[in-house]
């Protein structure tokens, strides 16, 4: 199917809107603090919505409705149970702990807690993770548009990468947050419009949708609609495995990802940051339920009436394309463009968040390289950026150049990732690419917060072990194929469920760190104010006693 002129008009209007926001944001850019953190004056509700936009990409927008065809509401049930597990911890521990510091980059904490090499290691892990994440997001969106609308794949990749890079470079964090608010509205409108059309044309209630999903799952041989738990780690999804995976993922993202934590730092204080977190959690649950409802409604549309799926798509291998294909074939004129705008908004909200965070981290990390004689910033309770003799806007040009470079790299990664095996699908590829780093990165921070006995050599080595666990579990079948080809193993090993890879890598990092600390004889550091157990100490006095690199 090809888009009509009205669809192209909607798309052009959306691209013009977000680019205009970037130009408008550039008019308010007066200093580093304004560019990176909006002067720490952003409204908590806008920050909360922006966090949701950063976490819900086109991957989620396509995979959530598509997953209904594979596992019904099992994945959604596990996700919704996992979120409360991490909410109390993030609300009660992570946010108040980190908001005591006046950091611009969350990786500054690693320098004060462990040392400058750990800060560089954490920042490097983050940059690699985000570049892979953003490249994967752009690739997924571009492949969908290419397959459904016939647009050249390279042209779609270049358009998304160029536009997102442009408005992020111009406007800084202020523009990113307000653009994210607009993009969430578009994303929700596209999903609500689909549900409304199906209810108007076919009738039925959510109860009918669930019954249709249950019948479909029974037809494809799934023994129960909602498998709760299995001791077999190769079972693709259960409620427990998804809940654990989502809880660990959210915990790592909210404690160690500059993409998320930078938004908390843009609020005035810990109270506003907590309100932003609460708003983002509520909105995340609501959007997840909405997308699952879209998947159930579309499944009901086809299954209950016996209609063939448009485009002759296979629900087993092409389930992620069923929702957008339905919208392009059945929604009114202009709705196809609105859907693509929703997909673009979901992708671009994630990419702009990643670009902004990478620009912040890289511009801060390059400063010590260029001026290695400088001491660590301080005191901890003061903002890092304004230093004596430093220009108030000295890092903005570097951040803008970094944004352009990162956008170019992301576009190149998206082109490179086209070689991924197609049978992996979205959920199968995620833990084998960017999420292979998420667990070890989160473990760096949580180890620093709660394990005062662990020092720099142990925590870095433990994170390397966590990375190794991610790669071994993620590529277990491929590793066994190589070993089998050389006669080292009798048969191929089965794939571990994608839901267990991230929790296992996180757990490995957290467990190995204290074990390695038993043989770590590096000099101890004064941790006053830098761990959960010493958090009430005077931060400024603590920093003065830290050993200088």
CB 332 within 8 A of CB 313: no
Residues contacting residue 85 through CB under 8 Å, at least 6 positions apart: 243, 247
What are the angstrom distances between the C-alpha of 99 and each of 51, 170, 446? 16, 27, 15
State residue 318 phi and psi, 5-degree precision. -125, 30
Measured on CA atoms in the order 160, 163, 165, 167, is the torsion positive or negative?
Answer: negative
Taking the C-alpha atoms of residue 332 and residue 408, their distance in angstroms, rounded to an integer, is 36
**Hey, is 529 helix, strand or coil?**
coil
Tokens for 423, please give them. 């049978």
Taking the C-alpha atoms of residue 90 and residue 97, their distance in angstroms, rounded to an integer, is 10
| Owner of token pair 């408008």 | 24
Taking the C-alpha atoms of residue 489 and residue 478, their distance in angstroms, rounded to an integer, is 12
Tokens for 73, please give them. 């509401």
CATH of 5-25+44-386+393-544, one of 1.20.1730.10, 1.10.10.10, 2.60.40.10, 3.30.300.10: 1.20.1730.10
Taking the C-alpha atoms of residue 261 and residue 327, their distance in angstroms, rounded to an integer, is 35
Q: DSSP secondary structure string, 62-84? A: HHHHHHHHHHTTHHHHHHHHHHH
The DSSP symbol for 40 reads: G
CB 250 within 8 A of CB 86: yes
First-to-final CA distance of the chain: 62
Q: What pLDDT, on a 0 to 100 scale, did the predictor assign at position 95?
A: 93
Q: DSSP secondary structure string, 412-456? A: HHHHHGGGS-GGGHHHHHGGGTTHHHHHHHHHHHHHHHH-TT--H
> What pTM, to 2 d.p., does this model score?
0.84
Q: How many CB atoms lie within 10 A of CB 524?
A: 11
Domain ranges of the chain: 5-25+44-386+393-544
Q: What pLDDT, on a 0 to 100 scale, did the predictor assign at position 189?
A: 84
**Hey, is 233 helix, strand or coil?**
coil
Residues contacting residue 437 through CB under 8 Å, at least 6 positions apart: 125, 126, 128, 129, 132, 467, 470
Q: What pLDDT, on a 0 to 100 scale, did the predictor assign at position 358?
A: 84
Tokens for 364, please give them. 């801060």
Q: What pLDDT, on a 0 to 100 scale, did the predictor assign at position 463?
A: 98
CB 346 within 8 A of CB 58: yes
Q: What is the pLDDT along the chain (549 residues), one digit of tens a residue?
A: 566 778 778 878 877 776 676 566 555 554 455 444 444 556 667 666 667 766 677 788 888 999 999 889 999 999 999 988 888 899 999 999 999 887 888 999 999 999 999 999 999 999 999 999 888 888 887 877 777 777 777 777 777 777 767 655 654 555 566 666 776 777 788 889 899 999 999 988 999 999 999 988 888 887 566 889 999 999 988 999 999 999 999 999 999 998 888 888 878 889 989 998 998 889 889 989 999 999 999 999 999 888 898 888 888 778 888 998 888 888 877 777 777 777 776 676 677 667 777 877 887 776 644 444 344 444 454 433 333 333 444 566 766 677 778 878 887 888 888 777 766 767 778 888 899 999 999 999 999 999 999 999 999 999 999 999 999 999 998 899 999 899 888 888 888 999 999 999 999 999 999 999 999 888 888 898 899 999 876 555 555 555 544
Q: DSSP secondary structure string, 304-364? A: TTTPPPGGG--TTTSGGGHHHHHHHHHSPTTHHHHHHHHHHHHHHHHHHHHHHHHHHHHHH
Q: What pLDDT, on a 0 to 100 scale, did the predictor assign at position 89?
A: 93
Residues contacting residue 454 through CB under 8 Å, at least 6 positions apart: 447, 448, 462, 513, 514, 516, 517, 520
Closest-CA residue to 126 (of 391, 360, 448) = 360
CB 463 within 8 A of CB 124: no
Q: What pLDDT, on a 0 to 100 scale, did the predictor assign at position 324?
A: 86
State residue 30 phi and psi, 5-degree precision. -115, -15
Q: DSSP secondary structure string, 3-51? A: --HHHHHHHHHHHHHHHHHHHHHHTT--SHHHHHHGGG---HHHHHHHH
State residue 321 phi and psi, 5-degree precision. -95, -5
CB 34 within 8 A of CB 324: no
CB 337 within 8 A of CB 327: no
What are the angstrom distances between the C-alpha of 465 and each of 439, 461, 508, 541? 11, 6, 7, 35
Taking the C-alpha atoms of residue 195 and residue 295, their distance in angstroms, rounded to an integer, is 9
Taking the C-alpha atoms of residue 95 and residue 452, their distance in angstroms, rounded to an integer, is 19
Residues contacting residue 82 through CB under 8 Å, at least 6 positions apart: 242, 243, 244, 245, 246, 247, 250
Q: What pLDDT, on a 0 to 100 scale, did the predictor assign at position 376?
A: 45
């Amino acid at each position: 199917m090809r888009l009509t002129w009205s669809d192209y008009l909607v798309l052009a209007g959306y691209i013009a809107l977000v680019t205009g926001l970037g130009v408008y944001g550039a008019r308010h850019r007066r200093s580093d603090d304004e560019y990176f953190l909006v002067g720490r004056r952003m409204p908590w509700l806008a920050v909360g919505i922006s966090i949701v936009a950063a976490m819900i990409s086109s991957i989620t927008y396509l995979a959530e409705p598509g997953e209904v065809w594979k596992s019904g509401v099992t994945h959604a049930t596990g996700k919704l149970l996992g979120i409360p597990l991490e909410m109390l911890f993030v609300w009660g521990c992570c946010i108040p702990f980190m908001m005591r510091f006046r950091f611009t980059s969350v990786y500054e904490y690693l320098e004060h807690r462990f040392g400058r090499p750990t800060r560089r290691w954490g920042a490097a892990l983050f940059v690699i993770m985000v570049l892979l994440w953003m490249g994967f997001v752009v690739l997924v969106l571009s492949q969908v548009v290419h397959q459904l609308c016939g647009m050249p794949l390279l042209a779609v990749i270049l358009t998304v990468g160029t536009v997102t890079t442009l408005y992020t470079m111009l406007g800084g964090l202020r523009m990113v947050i307000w653009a994210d608010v607009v993009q969430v509205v578009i994303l929700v409108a596209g999903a609500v419009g689909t549900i409304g059309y199906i209810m108007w044309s076919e009738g039925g209630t959510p109860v009918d949708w669930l019954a249709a999903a249950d019948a479909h799952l029974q037809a494809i041989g799934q023994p129960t609609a909602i498998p709760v738990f299995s001791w077999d780690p190769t079972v693709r999804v259960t409620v427990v495995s998804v809940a654990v995976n989502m809880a660990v993922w959210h915990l790592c993202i909210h404690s160690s990802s500059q993409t998320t934590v930078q938004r908390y730092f843009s609020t005035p204080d810990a109270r506003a940051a907590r309100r932003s977190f609460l708003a983002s959690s509520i909105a995340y649950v609501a959007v997840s339920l909405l997308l699952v409802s879209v998947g159930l409604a579309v499944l009901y549309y086809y299954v209950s009436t016996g209609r063939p799926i448009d485009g002759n798509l296979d629900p087993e291998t092409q389930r992620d394309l069923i929702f957008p294909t339905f919208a392009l074939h059945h929604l009114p004129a202009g709705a196809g463009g609105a859907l693509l705008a929703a997909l673009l908004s979901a992708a671009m909200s994630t990419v702009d968040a990643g670009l902004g965070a990478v620009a912040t981290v890289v511009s801060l990390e390059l400063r010590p390289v260029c001026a290695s004689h400088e001491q660590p910033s301080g005191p901890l309770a003061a903002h890092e950026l304004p230093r004596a003799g430093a220009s108030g806007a000295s890092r903005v040009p570097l951040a803008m150049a970094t944004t352009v470079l990162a956008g170019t790299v992301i576009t190149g990664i998206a082109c490179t990732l086209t070689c991924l095996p197609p049978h992996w699908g979205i959920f199968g590829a995620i833990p084998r690419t960017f999420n292979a780093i998420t667990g070890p990165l989160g473990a760096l921070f949580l180890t620093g917060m709660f394990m005062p006995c662990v020092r720099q050599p142990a925590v870095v080595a433990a994170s390397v072990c966590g990375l190794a666990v991610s790669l071994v579990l993620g590529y277990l079948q491929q590793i066994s194929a190589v070993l089998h080809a050389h006669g080292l193993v009798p048969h191929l090993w089965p794939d571990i469920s994608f839901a267990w890879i991230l929790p296992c890598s996180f757990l490995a990092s957290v467990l190995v760190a204290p074990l390695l600390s038993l043989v770590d004889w590096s000099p101890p550091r004064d941790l006053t104010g830098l761990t959960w157990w010493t958090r009430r100490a005077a931060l400024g006095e603590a920093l003065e006693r830290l050993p200088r690199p």
